[in-house]
Structure 1
């Protein structure tokens, strides 16, 4: 397996992508005018005002509770149910149908129902984000459980590995390959759902600030809040899911060095360490 790219030029392509996005923004502004898309300069000034006034910090704190809290609860519930369903296949089949139905319900419908059930306080956005995120993690975990290498379980039984070692050194590395992409998707969707709930709810958080800026048609400030959301999403994704991605990459690289290229045997190094 090829080593990960540690070249100093690895950031060139992302930088070029951002430059292309900025160029497209400027082109749309020049073509359609400020009533469609404000200029980068005006948006930057509005962003500076939002940050220096302290409004960004208070709004971010509320949205973080809604988005990260709901995503965390959804991940725990989805992962636990996926483990149970993958261990007991009949139970997995029993859970799959209703959870798929839950996944098919539009998030805006859950938002409206949550407002009717819990009001427009803290619980409604948390519930909406949780019930939107957990089916995604459940499906990935269930698929990972069903795709496990049976040889690993057999070797763990033969060598009488403790349950803790089986879970952390054998099962988790196998599941992480399936669950990590689902976590990225659930994480991004959680931000969208949280912001939508804030716009339609009590006007708290970044969603509420965006709705306030939209009312007088202050497009520059509205776009500034959108830019903040994107920045917060990228930073939080890197802080929360970045270590998981690096762990998976390191585990794959270590496994490739310890095993022959033909069979894929995740975690064989853990068994060697235990016997």
Structure 2
């Protein structure tokens, strides 16, 4: 029974994902053996440091703070970027006006937004939220614009000819196509959101994982630093697997047709 469960759990893509993680751990252990504890602590030493963070009560509040900062900025960027991108994709004048602005915003380094937000908002959580939103919003805008622009013109004309209601056109014509562009961009934007949020916390000292990294750096505790890095990566993978990936699978199935239907 247990063997059947594990065979099913590690079937298909999960098997390759597990192999990828094992390869990273093997390379990590090899690097530790070459460079030693000070430069690269072993996975076991990192896990031990992670356990100490949990027992000391530092882990839970830091995770909640960073999750709030990253996801709040990500949601703001997603809402505003998708809305403006959708409108720009349908309006040539608006697209001509907004695209240079988005390009300029993308060109500003994330660390510059962090520094500016700290000057504007101080060491509050709003600084991290603003930094995330303004750093990742242009990426979402660009994907939404491209997705809206490239909706099949013949399909749109056919829907109008048959007087398909607007809400049906939005749900069955526009949305699946736009999401094929938007969802990969949201995955990249989500990853960037965590990095920018941690960066803002590290410089502001307002709590969160970034503040924990700053404290570990000050104490020259490499194992603790690696433990915080592992926490960030784990959070990103959890949110991506539980939120982005299920939505992506749903709409990919929608575009292919019902399960069992011939392509």
TM-score, normalization: structure 2?
0.92
Instruction: Describe the shift of the 1:258–1:147 C-alpha distance in structure 2 as closer, same or farther (beyond 3 A).
Output: farther
Aligned length: 255
Instruction: Describe the shift of the 1:62–1:36 C-alpha distance in structure 2 as closer, same or farther (beyond 3 A).
Output: same
Contact 1:121 1:202 in 2 (8 A): no
From 186, 198, 202, give the equivalent of 1:195.
198
Contact 1:203 1:209 in 2 (8 A): no
2:253: which partner in 1? Answer: 250
Distance in 1, Cα, partners of 2:31 & 2:46: 14
Contact 2:85 2:145 in 1 (8 A): yes
Offset of 1:41 from its aligned partner?
A: 1.6
User: Structure 1: which 5+ residue stretches go unaligned?
Assistant: 1-5, 262-275
Instruction: Describe the shift of the 1:37–1:192 C-alpha distance in structure 2 as closer, same or farther (beyond 3 A).
Output: same
Contact 1:29 1:39 in 2 (8 A): yes
User: Structure 2: which 5+ residue stretches go unaligned?
Assistant: 1-8
Distance in 2, Cα, partners of 1:20 & 1:118: 42
Instruction: Describe the shift of the 1:255–1:156 C-alpha distance in structure 2 as closer, same or farther (beyond 3 A).
Output: farther
Q: Does 2:47 align with 1:44?
A: yes
Q: Does 2:90 align with 1:108?
A: no
2:226: which partner in 1? Answer: 223
Contact 1:114 1:128 in 2 (8 A): yes
TM-score, normalization: structure 1?
0.88
1:267: which partner in 2? Answer: none
2:16: which partner in 1? Answer: 13
From 52, 58, 62, give the equivalent of 1:59.
62
Could you list the structure 1 runs, at least 4 aligned residues long, displaced by more than 6 angstroms after superposition. Answer: 255-259
Q: Does 2:23 align with 1:27?
A: no
**Cα-to-partner distance string for 1:13-34 (whole Å, 9 max, x where unaligned):** 2111111111111111111111
**Cα-to-partner distance string for 1:56-91 (whole Å, 9 max, x where unaligned):** 111111101110110110011110001111111111
Distance in 2, Cα, partners of 1:7 & 1:209: 34
Contact 1:82 1:139 in 2 (8 A): yes
2:156: which partner in 1? Answer: 153
